[in-house]
A and B are shown apart, each in its own frame.
Chain A
């Protein structure tokens, strides 16, 4: 049985079902991160003293990671634009770059985390680190999830391009929406955790 409204637009919504689906999912993600941000505000404003992020965390590394993630957002949108121009080879290059940049982000994060653990800084050490590890850890899981989906579309999932290019374009657009959301969350995490 064929899945309805993957390519054709629904007349009542003016959208494909996949597009509505991904936006509803992102709405739930906003609430998930929103709850954690609210907890952060509550704990921080309730604390008698609070350390500046840059006195504990590595700002140059996080700045580098911000640049990496923003660049990966551009390569992601370029991957989609390549499909819109029917250039599958270029899509593969941009999508591959997006996955690689996601990998670079994770490697940098690994070094950041291991340095903290080596110096005896754990989530249980204080509230600041508890919040730092929770928020960045959850974000990191999202990076991994996005990379897995993108890798699928770069590899085995790309077969769909031959049989139903329109559907494949839609799928890549939706995975892109998730990837940009992950970038967007980091844009807020970076200053609030590292710089304030």
Chain B
């Protein structure tokens, strides 16, 4: 019984390792894509969108597979949901500042 459990466990880890290698290759390809796209000197809004989209995909792959977020406990998701909320709030501050400036400008 013990031997079967150990074999199952080893097979499980082997499966994980194959996923890590696939993610690694994907990350390398996406890095090349990011650099290649930047050489086209696209208009700033498009360039920013593409760069952030690719970075988000890469970041998600690292978080989901290397950090094992794809199979994590609920409490960790709750902590991260709260973090994501405040992170978005933080990044929205510059937008609010601009809205404020716009308001003052048009008084």
- On A, residues with C-beta under 8 Å from B are 13-15, 19-20, 23-24, 27, 30-31, 34-35, 37-38, 41-42, 45, 54, 59, 63, 66-67, 70-71, 73-74, 76-78, 81, 84-85, 176-177, 180-181, 183-184, 187-188, 190-192, 195-196
Q: Kindly identify which residue among B13, B38, B75 contacts A85, using a CB–CB cutoff of 8 Å.
A: B13
Write out the residue numbers on chain A whose beta carbons fall within 8 Å of the beta carbon of B34.
Answer: 190-191, 195
Q: Would B51 and A195 count as touching, CB distance under 8 A?
A: yes
> Are A184 and B35 neighbours in the complex by a CB distance under 8 Å?
no
Known pairs A38-B94, A63-B31; A20 contacts B75 (CB<8 A): yes
CA distance A168 to B79 in the complex (A): 25
Contact A191 B51 (CB under 8 A): yes
The interface residues of chain B lying within 8 Å CB-to-CB of A188 are 55, 59
Quick check: A187 and B58 within 8 Å, CB to CB? yes
Contact B28 A67 (CB under 8 A): yes
Q: Is the CB of A63 within 8 A of B35?
A: yes
Give the contacting residue for B63; candidates A19, A54, A176, A184; CB below 8 A: A184
The answer for the CA separation of A13 and B63 in the assembled complex, in Å, is 21
B70 at the interface (CB under 8 A from A): no
Q: Interface residues, chain B, CB within 8 Å of chain A?
A: 9-10, 13, 16-17, 20-21, 23-24, 27-28, 31, 34-35, 38, 44, 47-48, 51-52, 54-55, 58-59, 62-63, 66-67, 73-76, 79-80, 82-83, 86-87, 90-91, 93-94, 97-98
Cα A77 to Cα B79 in complex, Å, equals: 23
Q: What is the bound-complex CA distance between A59 and B38, given in angstroms? A: 10
On whether the beta carbons of A195 and B94 are closer than 8 Å, the reply is no
Of the A-B pairs whose beta carbons lie under 8 Å apart in the complex, a sample of 15, sorted by A's number, is: A20-B76, A24-B79, A31-B87, A31-B90, A41-B94, A54-B38, A59-B38, A67-B28, A78-B20, A81-B17, A180-B62, A188-B59, A192-B52, A195-B51, A196-B44
The closest CB in chain A to the CB of B27 belongs to: A70
Pick from A42, A63, A74, A188 the residue with the most CB of B within 10 Å.
A74
What is the bound-complex CA distance between A125 and B86, given in angstroms? 32
Cβ-neighbour of A177 out of B16, B67, B98 (below 8 A): B67
**The 10 nearest A-B residue pairs measured at CB:** A42-B94, A191-B51, A195-B38, A27-B83, A34-B90, A41-B94, A74-B24, A180-B66, A14-B73, A34-B87
Are B79 and A187 in contact, with the CB atoms below 8 A? no
**Residue of A42, A45, A76, A187 with most chain B CB atoms under a 10 A cut-off:** A187
Question: Of residues A73, A77, A183, which shows the largest number of chain B Cβ atoms within 10 Å of its Cβ?
Answer: A77
